[in-house]
Structure 1
Amino acid sequence: MRIGNALRGLTAGIAVLGYVSLFLLLQVRAAPVSALAGIGALATAALAVAGGRPAVRQLLGRGPPSQEDTPRWWLARLEPAVEDSWNTYADLVLTVGLWALSVGSFDGLITYSGDDPLFGLAIIGFLSMVCGLISLGFLIDSRYE
C-alpha cells in the first residue's frame, strides 16, 4: 500500500473518530467547550487531509446540488465524505480509538470525586466498547478479502 493511501486512511479514521466522539460528548455534556472545540478542529483538519475540500463541503451539507438524497443529519453525511479514502488503516484507527474512548469513560467514572457521577460516561463507555468490537469485526474481515 502506498504511503499516500495509508495517510488518507489514517486521517479518515481520525476524522470519523473525532466526529463520533464529539457527538457523544455533546450528548452527555461531559467535556468543557474548549475540549469540544479542539476535537472539532482536529476532526475537521483530518477530514480535509483525507478527502480534501469536497469532503468538508459534503459534511457541511454544501455538496453538489444534484444530490437530493443528501442526509440532513450532519453525522450521517460523514460516511459519504470519507468513503473514497476509507481503508484498513482507517478501520484500525477507529477500533483502537473507540476502545480508548471506552477505557477513558470508565476511568472517568472510577476516579470521579463528586457525589453523583455522570451517567453519560457509562453510556459512552458501553457504546464505544460495543462499536469498537463491531469495528474490529470489519477490520478482521477486510484482512481476508
Structure 2
Amino acid sequence: MSVSETLRGLAAGIAVLGYVALFLLLRFRSVPASVFAGVAVLSTAALVAAGGRPAFRQLLGRGPSTDAETPGWWLARVEPAVEDAWNAYADLILTVGLWAITVGAFGRLATYPGDDPPFGLVTVGFLSMVCGLISLGFLIDSRYE
C-alpha cells in the first residue's frame, strides 16, 4: 500500500468518524456549539482530503450518482463519498475513535458536577460502544483478506 493510499484511508476514517460524532452530538446536544463547528470543519477537511471535491459534492447530494442512487439522509451519503479511499487504516481510525467517544461520554457522565446528568451522554456512550465493536469486526475481517 502506498503512502498516498494510507493517508487517504486515514482521512476517510477521520471524516466518517467526525460525521458520526457530529450526528451524535447534534442529536443529543451534549456539547457547546463551538465543538459542533470544530467537528464539522475537521470532518469536511478530512472528507476533501480523502475524496476531493467530488466527495464533498456527493455529501451535499450533488455527486455523480443519479437521484435514485443518492440517499436522502446526509449521514448516509458519507460512506459512498469516501468509498474509494476506504481501507484498513480507515477501519482502525473509526474503531479507536468510536471507543474514544465512548470513554469520553462515560467519563463526562461520571464527572458531571450537577445532580441530574444529561441522559444523552448515556445514549452516546452506548451507541458509540456498540458501533465500535461492530467496526472492530470489520477491522479484524480486513486483516485476514
* TM-score after normalising by structure 1: 0.98
Question: Structure 1, residues 20-69: CA drift from partner, whole Å, max 9, x if none?
Answer: 00000001000111110000000000000000000000001111363422
Aligned to 1:37: 37
Identity of aligned residues (%): 71
Alignment of 1:1-145 (within 5 A): 1-64=1-64, 66-145=66-145
Paired letter, 1:75: L
* Segments ≥4 residues shifted beyond 3 Å: none
The 1-side partners of 2:66 and 2:110 are apart by 50
Unmatched tracts of structure 1, length 5 or more = none
Q: Secondary structure at the match of 1:103?
A: helix
* TM-score after normalising by structure 2: 0.98
Q: Secondary structure at the match of 2:75?
A: coil
Question: Structure 1, residues 91-129: CA drift from partner, whole Å, max 9, x if none?
Answer: 000000000000000000000001210100010101101
Unmatched tracts of structure 2, length 5 or more = none
Paired letter, 1:126: F
The 1-side partners of 2:137 and 2:66 are apart by 35
The 2-side partners of 1:126 and 1:34 are apart by 24
The 1-side partners of 2:96 and 2:30 are apart by 21
Q: Secondary structure at the match of 1:114?
A: coil
How many residue pairs get aligned? The number is 145
